[in-house]
Amino acid sequence: MSESEEIRIHVEGHGDVSGLLLRPSTPRWLLLLAHGAGAGMRHPFMAKLADELAAGGVATLRYQFLYMEQSRRAPDSPAIATAVVAAAMRTASEAALGLPLLAGGKSFGGRMTSHAAAQGLLDEVRGLVFFGFPLHPPNKPGTKRADHLLKVPMPMLFLQGTRDTLADLKLLRPICAKLGPRATLHVIESADHSFHVLKSSGMDDPGVLRDLAETTASWADHLVIS
């Protein structure tokens, strides 16, 4: 597997953030992969997921939000976060060498990506991928965080665990149904918000990562021919 290439992403009015571009030898897609609220782009989950995606022909551009780049604890406001997502898209477009673009991320990163898409900031992106969409705070079911998804114009892939305390599937399933053919929901049995699974599931964490990557690649390849 090729090593990640370090790049800089300029966010107009806010300075630069770091990025890591991992491109396999024969990529079919380039995915903008944003990190979750509590860990940056170098977190082991992000690195291992990028490796699995590369093995399936999906290049990735991981990148930092400004607060993580500046070692601050509080996440950026939605306005700043979406500006970073849009800047990452522009950088990816230049680095993609003709590859079609996907965008998404883990938890907070995926949600901020969907807000950017709903605001029309991701016009070059073909589809969104959510690795654990945070529908509501832990154990506080609600659907307000999904209201903007109706304004997202492109297809969306939701990868969710049955033990995810930030996304009650009883609430998420009807939302996906309302979104119609734009939404695809892939459920991982016994996975929590970090995609850790119970031993009784018959799977292990590396197997779940492969499943996430393979599902993403298969879904994306369907977008090419649809």
> Tens digits of per-residue pLDDT, 60-78?
999 999 999 999 999 999 9
> Tens digits of per-residue pLDDT, 131-183?
999 999 998 999 999 999 999 999 999 999 999 999 999 999 999 999 999 99
Q: In this model, does residue 102 exceed pLDDT 50?
A: yes
Domain range for 26 is 5-225
| Number of domains present in the structure of the chain | 1
Q: Are 188 and 204 in contact (CB under 8 A)?
A: no
Q: In this model, does residue 225 exceed pLDDT 90?
A: no
Enter the tokens of residue 60.
């990735």
Residue whose entry in the numeric block shows the structure tokens 């979750």: 36
Confidence of residue 94 (pLDDT cuts 50, 70, 90): confident
Residue whose entry in the numeric block shows the structure tokens 């016994």: 190
What are the residue ranges of helices labelled H in the chain?
44-55, 66-69, 78-95, 108-118, 169-179, 205-225
Model confidence, pTM: 0.96
Confidence of residue 125 (pLDDT cuts 50, 70, 90): very high
CATH for 49: 3.40.50.1820
Per-residue confidence (pLDDT) for residue 226, from 0 to 100: 46
Q: In this model, does residue 188 exceed pLDDT 50?
A: yes
What are the residue ranges of helices labelled H in 96-131?
108-118
Strand order from edge to edge, sheet including 15-22: 5-11, 15-22, 58-63, 29-34, 101-106, 125-131, 156-161, 183-188
> Tens digits of per-residue pLDDT, 12-54?
999 999 999 999 999 999 999 999 999 999 999 999 999 999 9
CA 177 to chain CA centroid, Å, is: 20
